[in-house]
Amino acid sequence: MDATLPPAPSRLSLTDSLEQLFKRHDPWFRPLMRQRHGDIAAEDLVHESYLRAAPYLAAGTLRHPEALLIRIAENLASNMRRDRYPEIAQDLGTSAFEKHASTPTQDYAVTFKQIVLALPTELRDVFMLNHVQGMTYEEIAVHLGIPRTTVHHRMRKALEKTSKAMRD
Protein backbone atom coordinates (compact mmCIF):
# COMPACT_ATOMS: atom_id res chain seq x y z
CA MET A 1 0.00 0.00 0.00
CA ASP A 2 1.31 3.45 -0.90
CA ALA A 3 1.80 5.54 2.26
CA THR A 4 1.04 8.80 0.43
CA LEU A 5 -2.53 7.84 -0.39
CA PRO A 6 -5.28 8.16 2.22
CA PRO A 7 -6.87 4.96 3.44
CA ALA A 8 -9.90 3.84 1.44
CA PRO A 9 -12.91 4.44 3.74
CA SER A 10 -16.26 2.75 3.47
CA ARG A 11 -18.80 4.51 1.27
CA LEU A 12 -21.00 5.55 4.20
CA SER A 13 -18.13 7.08 6.14
CA LEU A 14 -16.90 8.92 3.05
CA THR A 15 -20.37 10.37 2.52
CA ASP A 16 -20.56 11.37 6.17
CA SER A 17 -17.10 12.91 5.95
CA LEU A 18 -18.04 14.98 2.90
CA GLU A 19 -21.17 16.20 4.60
CA GLN A 20 -19.26 17.05 7.76
CA LEU A 21 -16.57 18.96 5.86
CA PHE A 22 -19.19 20.88 3.94
CA LYS A 23 -21.23 21.83 7.02
CA ARG A 24 -18.24 22.87 9.11
CA HIS A 25 -16.06 24.61 6.57
CA ASP A 26 -18.15 25.88 3.65
CA PRO A 27 -19.17 29.16 5.36
CA TRP A 28 -15.55 30.38 5.35
CA PHE A 29 -13.85 28.17 2.74
CA ARG A 30 -15.98 28.95 -0.33
CA PRO A 31 -15.86 32.76 0.15
CA LEU A 32 -12.08 32.59 0.64
CA MET A 33 -11.63 30.65 -2.60
CA ARG A 34 -13.95 33.05 -4.46
CA GLN A 35 -11.92 35.98 -3.21
CA ARG A 36 -8.62 34.39 -4.22
CA HIS A 37 -9.58 32.68 -7.49
CA GLY A 38 -12.92 34.08 -8.72
CA ASP A 39 -16.41 32.58 -8.66
CA ILE A 40 -16.05 30.06 -11.46
CA ALA A 41 -12.72 28.52 -10.43
CA ALA A 42 -13.70 28.58 -6.74
CA GLU A 43 -16.56 26.15 -7.27
CA ASP A 44 -14.28 23.52 -8.80
CA LEU A 45 -11.55 24.11 -6.23
CA VAL A 46 -13.92 23.81 -3.27
CA HIS A 47 -15.60 20.63 -4.49
CA GLU A 48 -12.34 18.91 -5.38
CA SER A 49 -10.78 19.94 -2.05
CA TYR A 50 -13.65 18.39 -0.11
CA LEU A 51 -13.37 15.19 -2.14
CA ARG A 52 -9.64 14.93 -1.50
CA ALA A 53 -9.86 15.74 2.22
CA ALA A 54 -12.83 13.46 3.03
CA PRO A 55 -10.86 10.17 3.13
CA TYR A 56 -8.52 11.63 5.77
CA LEU A 57 -11.47 12.73 7.91
CA ALA A 58 -13.14 9.33 7.49
CA ALA A 59 -9.94 7.58 8.61
CA GLY A 60 -9.63 9.86 11.62
CA THR A 61 -6.24 11.21 10.55
CA LEU A 62 -7.27 14.79 9.79
CA ARG A 63 -5.98 17.06 12.55
CA HIS A 64 -6.03 20.47 10.82
CA PRO A 65 -8.86 20.45 8.27
CA GLU A 66 -8.67 24.19 7.55
CA ALA A 67 -5.00 24.03 6.63
CA LEU A 68 -5.47 20.90 4.54
CA LEU A 69 -8.42 22.34 2.60
CA ILE A 70 -6.54 25.54 1.81
CA ARG A 71 -3.37 23.65 0.80
CA ILE A 72 -5.31 21.29 -1.47
CA ALA A 73 -7.19 24.17 -3.12
CA GLU A 74 -4.06 26.26 -3.66
CA ASN A 75 -2.22 23.29 -5.17
CA LEU A 76 -5.16 22.63 -7.49
CA ALA A 77 -5.28 26.30 -8.50
CA SER A 78 -1.57 26.22 -9.23
CA ASN A 79 -2.04 23.13 -11.38
CA MET A 80 -4.92 24.79 -13.24
CA ARG A 81 -2.78 27.87 -14.02
CA ARG A 82 0.15 25.72 -15.11
CA ASP A 83 -2.07 23.64 -17.41
CA ARG A 84 -3.77 26.68 -18.97
CA TYR A 85 -0.66 28.82 -19.39
CA PRO A 86 2.34 26.48 -19.72
CA GLU A 87 4.55 29.08 -21.38
CA ILE A 88 3.81 31.63 -18.66
CA ALA A 89 4.20 29.18 -15.78
CA GLN A 90 7.91 28.86 -16.63
CA ASP A 91 8.44 32.47 -15.57
CA LEU A 92 8.29 32.00 -11.81
CA GLY A 93 9.04 35.64 -11.07
CA THR A 94 5.72 36.85 -12.47
CA SER A 95 2.24 35.48 -11.91
CA ALA A 96 0.34 34.22 -14.94
CA PHE A 97 -2.11 37.10 -14.76
CA GLU A 98 0.56 39.79 -14.46
CA LYS A 99 2.59 38.36 -17.34
CA HIS A 100 -0.46 37.98 -19.58
CA ALA A 101 -1.79 41.43 -18.66
CA SER A 102 1.46 43.25 -19.37
CA THR A 103 1.85 42.12 -23.01
CA PRO A 104 -1.01 43.86 -24.89
CA THR A 105 -0.15 46.43 -27.51
CA GLN A 106 -1.88 49.76 -27.87
CA ASP A 107 -3.95 48.39 -30.76
CA TYR A 108 -5.03 45.50 -28.59
CA ALA A 109 -6.09 47.90 -25.81
CA VAL A 110 -8.11 50.06 -28.22
CA THR A 111 -9.79 46.99 -29.71
CA PHE A 112 -10.62 45.67 -26.27
CA LYS A 113 -12.10 49.03 -25.21
CA GLN A 114 -14.29 49.10 -28.34
CA ILE A 115 -15.51 45.57 -27.66
CA VAL A 116 -16.38 46.39 -24.04
CA LEU A 117 -18.19 49.58 -25.06
CA ALA A 118 -20.17 47.60 -27.65
CA LEU A 119 -21.54 45.21 -25.01
CA PRO A 120 -25.23 45.53 -24.13
CA THR A 121 -25.69 48.03 -21.28
CA GLU A 122 -26.56 45.48 -18.58
CA LEU A 123 -23.50 43.37 -19.42
CA ARG A 124 -21.19 46.36 -19.75
CA ASP A 125 -22.29 47.79 -16.39
CA VAL A 126 -21.55 44.56 -14.53
CA PHE A 127 -18.23 44.12 -16.36
CA MET A 128 -17.07 47.67 -15.65
CA LEU A 129 -18.16 47.64 -12.00
CA ASN A 130 -16.20 44.45 -11.42
CA HIS A 131 -13.11 44.96 -13.56
CA VAL A 132 -12.70 48.75 -13.38
CA GLN A 133 -14.27 49.69 -10.04
CA GLY A 134 -13.16 46.47 -8.33
CA MET A 135 -16.57 45.70 -6.86
CA THR A 136 -17.45 42.15 -5.81
CA TYR A 137 -20.48 40.39 -7.27
CA GLU A 138 -22.33 40.96 -3.99
CA GLU A 139 -21.55 44.70 -4.07
CA ILE A 140 -22.64 44.92 -7.70
CA ALA A 141 -25.91 43.14 -6.88
CA VAL A 142 -26.67 45.63 -4.12
CA HIS A 143 -25.57 48.60 -6.24
CA LEU A 144 -27.74 47.60 -9.22
CA GLY A 145 -30.59 46.14 -7.16
CA ILE A 146 -30.43 42.74 -8.86
CA PRO A 147 -29.85 39.21 -7.53
CA ARG A 148 -26.27 38.00 -7.19
CA THR A 149 -27.01 35.14 -9.58
CA THR A 150 -28.01 37.69 -12.22
CA VAL A 151 -24.68 39.46 -11.72
CA HIS A 152 -22.88 36.15 -12.17
CA HIS A 153 -24.89 35.33 -15.31
CA ARG A 154 -24.29 38.77 -16.84
CA MET A 155 -20.58 38.61 -16.08
CA ARG A 156 -20.33 35.18 -17.67
CA LYS A 157 -22.10 36.48 -20.79
CA ALA A 158 -19.90 39.59 -20.91
CA LEU A 159 -16.75 37.50 -20.64
CA GLU A 160 -17.97 35.10 -23.33
CA LYS A 161 -18.75 37.97 -25.70
CA THR A 162 -15.47 39.81 -25.11
CA SER A 163 -13.42 36.61 -25.44
CA LYS A 164 -15.15 35.66 -28.67
CA ALA A 165 -14.77 39.16 -30.10
CA MET A 166 -11.06 39.28 -29.22
CA ARG A 167 -10.47 35.93 -30.91
CA ASP A 168 -12.24 37.08 -34.10
What is residue 88's predicted lDDT score, i.e. its pLDDT?
41
Domains in the chain and their CATH numbers? 11-87 (no CATH), 104-167 (1.10.10.10)
What is residue 132's predicted lDDT score, i.e. its pLDDT?
82
What is residue 1's predicted lDDT score, i.e. its pLDDT?
46
What is the mean pLDDT for each group of 10 consecutive residues in the chain (168 residues)? Answer: 53 76 91 88 89 87 89 89 58 44 66 87 90 86 92 90 81
Q: What share of the chain is helix, strand, coil (3-state, %, to 5)?
A: 75, 0, 25
**How many whole angstroms separate alpha carbon 2 and alpha carbon 7?**
9
**How many whole angstroms separate alpha carbon 156 and alpha carbon 139?**
17
Beta carbons within 10 angstroms of residue 168's beta carbon: 6
What is residue 13's predicted lDDT score, i.e. its pLDDT?
75
What is residue 28's predicted lDDT score, i.e. its pLDDT?
92
What is residue 99's predicted lDDT score, i.e. its pLDDT?
44
What is residue 73's predicted lDDT score, i.e. its pLDDT?
92
Please tell me what DSSP assigns to residue 132: T
